[in-house]
Amino acid sequence: MDRRTFSKFAFVTTLMAGAGHAPAASAQVRQIRMIEAGGKSGDSVEDGYIKPFTKKTGIKVVRESPNEFGKLRALVEGGRTDVVLFEMGAASLEQAKSLNLVEKLDWSKIAAMPIFPEAKDDFGMGYQFYSTLMAWRKGVKAPASWKDFYDAKAFPGKRSLPDDPVFVLPTVLLAAGVPMKDLYPLDVDRAFRQLDAVKKDVSVWWKAGAQPPQLLRDNEVQYAMAYSGRVTGQEGIEYTFNQANLDLSFFCVVKGSSTADVDAAYKLLYEMSVPANQAMAAEVISYTGNSPDLEALLPPAKLGQFPTASANKTVQFFNDAAWWFKNGDDVQKRWQEFILSL
Partner 1 sequence: MRFVGPLLAVVVVCFDIPVLFMLSYSLSGTQGLTLANYGAVFSSPVFLKVIANTLRISLIATAVSAVLGYALAYWISGLQGWARNLALTAVVLPFWVSILVRTYAWIVVLGNGGLVNRLLQWSGISTEAVQFLYTDFGVIVGMANISIPLFVLPLYAAMIRIDRRYMQAAASLGASNSVIFWKVFFPISVPAFLSSILLVFILCLGFYVTPAVLGGGRVPMVANMLDTYINRIPRWGTASAVSTVLLVVTLALFAGYRRANARLGG
Asked if 203 is part of the footprint of partner 1 (rule: CB under 8 A), the reply reads yes
Asked if 163 is part of the footprint of partner 1 (rule: CB under 8 A), the reply reads yes
| Three-state secondary structure call for residue 28 | coil
Query: Exactly one of 205, 317, 318, 323 binds partner 1 (CB under 8 A); which one?
Result: 205
> Angle formed by the axes of helices 90-98 and 69-77, to 10°?
20
Asked if 69 is part of the footprint of partner 1 (rule: CB under 8 A), the reply reads yes
- How many residues contact partner 1, by CB under 8 A? 32
Cα–Cα dist 260/266, whole Å: 10
Asked if 210 is part of the footprint of partner 1 (rule: CB under 8 A), the reply reads no
Sequence-ordered list of residues with C-beta below 8 angstroms from that of 200, at least 6 positions apart, any chain: none
Cα–Cα dist 105/262, whole Å: 9
Contact (CB, 8 A) for 287 and 228 = yes
Q: Which of 111, 205, 203, 112 is nearest to 152 (CA)?
A: 203
Asked if 167 is part of the footprint of partner 1 (rule: CB under 8 A), the reply reads no
70-84 b/e (C-beta count within 10 Å ≥ 16 → b): ebbbbbbebbbbebb
Q: What is the DSSP letter of 96?
A: H
Asked if 342 is part of the footprint of partner 1 (rule: CB under 8 A), the reply reads yes
Least distance CB 94 / partner 1 (angstroms): 14
Q: Which residues pair with 34 in a beta bridge?
A: 63, 85
Least distance CB 317 / partner 1 (angstroms): 23
Least distance CB 159 / partner 1 (angstroms): 11
With contacts defined by CB under 8 A, name the span among 28-36, 57-65, 69-77, 319-327 that binds partner 1: 69-77
Least distance CB 58 / partner 1 (angstroms): 35
Least distance CB 279 / partner 1 (angstroms): 33
- DSSP of 141-166, one letter per residue? PPPSSHHHHT-TTTS-S-EEEES-HH
Query: Exactly one of 31, 219, 259, 303 binds partner 1 (CB under 8 A); which one?
Result: 219
Query: Exactly one of 155, 206, 223, 287 binds partner 1 (CB under 8 A); which one?
Result: 206
Asked if 141 is part of the footprint of partner 1 (rule: CB under 8 A), the reply reads no
Q: Is 313 exposed, middle or buried, given 0-12, 13-18 or 19+ CB atoms closer than 10 A?
A: middle
Query: Rule CB under 8 A: which of 1-60 touch partner 1?
Result: 3-4, 7-8, 10-12, 14-15
Could you list the residues that contact partner 1 (CB under 8 A)?
A: 3-4, 7-8, 10-12, 14-15, 68-71, 73, 163, 203-207, 218-220, 328-329, 332-333, 336-337, 339-340, 342
